[in-house]
Amino acid sequence: MFEDKFSIRTKTMKRSAIRELLKLVLNPEIISFAGGMPDPSLFPIKLLGDAVKSVLEREGKRAVQYGPTEGHQGLKEELIKRLETRRNIKINENEILITTASQQGLDLVSKIFIDPEDIVIVGLPTYLGGLGAFHSYRARFIGIPLDDNGMRVDLVEEKLRVLRRGQHRVKFIYVIPDFQNPAGVTLSIERRKKIIALAEKYNILILEDTPYRELRYRGESIPSLFALAPRDRVVSLYTFSKVLFPGLRLGYILGDKEIINQLVIAKQSTDLCTPPFTQAILCEILKRDVIDEHIKKLVVRYRDKRECMLNSLDKYMPELPDLSWTKPDGGLFLWVTLPNYMNTEKLFSKALEKKVAYVAGSYFYYNDSGKNTLRLNFSYPTLKLIIKGIQRLGGLIKEEAE
Amino acid sequence: MFEDKFSIRTKTMKRSAIRELLKLVLNPEIISFAGGMPDPSLFPIKLLGDAVKSVLEREGKRAVQYGPTEGHQGLKEELIKRLETRRNIKINENEILITTASQQGLDLVSKIFIDPEDIVIVGLPTYLGGLGAFHSYRARFIGIPLDDNGMRVDLVEEKLRVLRRGQHRVKFIYVIPDFQNPAGVTLSIERRKKIIALAEKYNILILEDTPYRELRYRGESIPSLFALAPRDRVVSLYTFSKVLFPGLRLGYILGDKEIINQLVIAKQSTDLCTPPFTQAILCEILKRDVIDEHIKKLVVRYRDKRECMLNSLDKYMPELPDLSWTKPDGGLFLWVTLPNYMNTEKLFSKALEKKVAYVAGSYFYYNDSGKNTLRLNFSYPTLKLIIKGIQRLGGLIKEEAE
């Protein structure tokens, strides 16, 4: 009815498959490995209540008034302090912008950089909320396959060379270096250095997305791209959705001050400011210096869940030559590759019949490939349900193989 | 440094003059009639604290988890109920979308409708956050002057005829019918009906923005465009920023279900969802059925402030043939027109020297006109400061006239 009125982008924007799936799996009988939700039993609700009380007593009237687009002053100061002490990243106040979680970061970065037909280099597969944001500004994608050490950086230079020859405008490389969504793989330090060198050589930006970074269950932390690169080369997105409360929708962007300045201008017309009330609450929580303890608890719990899912896969998946899965060092997801002749989109309705849900891997590819892959989330379900759910999934795949 | 990388829109996006001004006037010695902030002494902080407590007790874990893009189910139900009982507007669940306040409504509507060079018809002057949002999607503007009865609808048809002849794509008419920002004028019922008839005849949409609607100090309420028009003709924006807490950033959009569906898709890639935590709090506040009482209190207080500002203008403004101001029936602003030879942008630094601030009217025009106008806000300052501030402003204008 409004076809003659909608913008060109509207005709190409697609509903997020995952957000639609999440509605399907509200049925409590279905064991869901779809979604990417934190374990609700670990939400520190009492801490939140106490923080709200302090905020309302101390700065209630300010917290419910309009605030600066750049973000809550106290919160910015706490974040700058934490970045320096915990991550060894020194930034100035004009190199940070508070956002309504990192999805807004993806939107704003797209808004200030992407013109129609501009190219974004992405992982094959990659986070579908990233694809959605870039797509809504009509970007084109060039995909780089992943292996166990993350994006195949050795394949990037050849692409960049061809693109430069064709005078294509490459706007940035989108990288989720730690425990990538959806594949669960981590970019090695060598590849981090290499991709930064390439970005320097070809003068393109890197957009780094770090939602899972603090949720590491094995091995040593690897420096972020933002920490490794010159300040003007990387824009980095952070969120509190996985380590605290997704329902507060809080995150931040780090970048060169000129980029942050343009992001602030874009944000002004997007929502004026992130809610000062939720920002004041987060500031209070950070001041209490309990979040590291909380993250430790998450790591212990999720490490168990990861272990449990890997063990269950070993136990219940049929022995097939082309069946494999990743063994992530952290994060919320692992990635299963089935024999080529299986199609996880088609399999999904059978999975629902067996009362188990996943996300078909093809949604994480812009080019409709990955039909034989699927993503499993292990942070949300209980240990008991992980075992039971993988048993159901293993049964389904066994039936399909016969 | 990043000129070769920024998108075309980035080069044309401008910093919001008002949000920059707000920083200038943080100096407590300056009496500020800039901004559009509610009176902080009226914020019901205790109500907020009580509502948070109930939410955390009853649905804490759900309120801090991810939520549906469409909005918090309970909040949507409360809003639908209130719209029916208080505004006589009957809508279905698929005709409403919760937003991070109405600025996000402006952004999302722009995103799904505006292609570069598309035309938006706006008031001369109009809300600069609207201009900013449309501009960020590279709209072009056609301006319609206002008089004491709002937009000069009699001039709209001629414009539409010319635009149709030129095969221009007119996407919508942006209207703030009640106590318009910045002019404070209200669109008469006759003009509301006329503009809807024109929109029907020329098959274009109306974007209605209603932030001040419930803050009426004199006269009878006039039905909204959304209530008067066929469902597929008007998209209407609402916010709780002026009647409750701007710092929670909550509002909603009403529109045809096909439009709401596209807005939901656009919102998915913009921020996934409005914070479920703040939505649950607002839902709880609405359920307590105290907001009408609260709005009554606001109306009493703001009516006094409006009265006070009008009286002070009568008393302190010099008698000049070309000096006039509007007498709004509601809202937060009135609009002053100075003699043609005065320039309120240039006058601004002198005003700051006299420790009084306003917003120069030219910021509300896309075409750099209105140099001799200014906007005054009366909701934020106290009665005492209104008198003192207008005295300062009157003195300044008297000096300029001599």
What is A8-44+293-401's CATH topology? Aspartate Aminotransferase, domain 1 (3.90.1150)
Looking at per-residue confidence, does A325 or B15 come out higher?
Answer: A325
Query: What pLDDT, on the 0 to 100 scale, is given for residue A25?
Result: 66
Contact A265 B135 (CB under 8 A): no
Structure tokens at A393: 């999934």
Q: Which residues of B touch A13 (CB under 8 A)?
A: 262, 265-266, 269
Q: Which of residues 205-234 of A touch B (CB under 8 A)?
A: 205, 232
Does the pLDDT at position A23 exceed 90?
no
Of B248, B249, B259, the CB nearest to A2: B259
Does the pLDDT at position A378 exceed 80?
yes
**Which whole-number Å values give the CA distances from A338 to A124, A150, A393, B22, B357, in the listed order?**
16, 19, 12, 58, 67
CA distance B106 to B128: 11
Contact B268 A16 (CB under 8 A): yes
Of B2, B232, B248, the CB nearest to A64: B248
CA distance A347 to B314: 76
H-only helix segments in A210-356: 225-228, 257-271, 276-287, 291-316, 344-353
Q: Which of residues 261-290 of A touch B (CB under 8 A)?
A: 262, 264-266, 268-278
Supply the mean pLDDT for chain B: 95
CA distance B108 to B102: 10
Name the residue ranges covered by the structural domains of chain A. Answer: 8-44+293-401, 61-289
- Under 8 Å CB pairs connecting chains A and B tally to 257
Q: Which of residues 174-203 of A touch B (CB under 8 A)?
A: none
Confidence of residue B25 (pLDDT cuts 50, 70, 90): low
What is A61-289's CATH topology? Aspartate Aminotransferase; domain 2 (3.40.640)
Q: Which of residues 47-76 of B touch A (CB under 8 A)?
A: 48-49, 52-53, 56, 60-69
Supply the mean pLDDT for chain A: 95
Of B8, B247, B262, the CB nearest to A6: B262
Q: Does the CA dihedral A95-A99-A103-A107 come out positive or negative?
A: negative
3-state DSSP call for residue B72? coil
Does the pLDDT at position B31 exceed 70?
yes
Cβ-based neighbours of A262, under 8 Å, separated by 6 or more: A112, B2, B6, B10, B13
CATH of B65-289, one of 2.60.120.560, 3.40.640.10, 3.40.50.300, 3.40.50.620: 3.40.640.10
| Nearest C-alpha neighbor of B251 from the set B109, B50, B122 | B109
The single-letter DSSP state of residue A115 is: P
- Contact (CB, 8 A) for A316 and A286: no
Q: Which residues of B touch A248 (CB under 8 A)?
A: 64, 275, 277
pLDDT digits (tens, 9 = 90+) for B383-398: 999 999 999 999 999 9
Looking at per-residue confidence, does B166 or A216 come out higher?
Answer: A216
| Nearest C-alpha neighbor of A157 from the set A118, A124, A203, A195 | A195
| Nearest C-alpha neighbor of A331 from the set A219, A251, A247, A225 | A219
| Nearest C-alpha neighbor of A333 from the set A364, A355, A354 | A364
Q: Which residues of A touch B233 (CB under 8 A)?
A: none
Tell me the nearest-neighbour CA distance from B320 into chain A, angstroms. 36
Q: Which of residues 329-368 of A touch B (CB under 8 A)?
A: none
pLDDT digits (tens, 9 = 90+) for A130-151: 999 999 999 999 999 999 999 9
Of B45, B62, B276, the CB nearest to A56: B45
Q: Which residues of B touch A7 (CB under 8 A)?
A: 111-115, 118, 137
- Other CB atoms closer than 10 Å to residue A295's CB: what's the count? 16
- Contact (CB, 8 A) for B61 and A49: no
pLDDT digits (tens, 9 = 90+) for B47-101: 999 999 999 999 999 999 999 999 999 999 999 999 999 889 999 999 999 999 9
Confidence of residue A21 (pLDDT cuts 50, 70, 90): confident
User: Chain B contact for A2, CB < 8 A?
Assistant: yes
Does the pLDDT at position A85 exceed 70?
yes
The distance in angstroms from the start CA to the end CA of chain B is 48
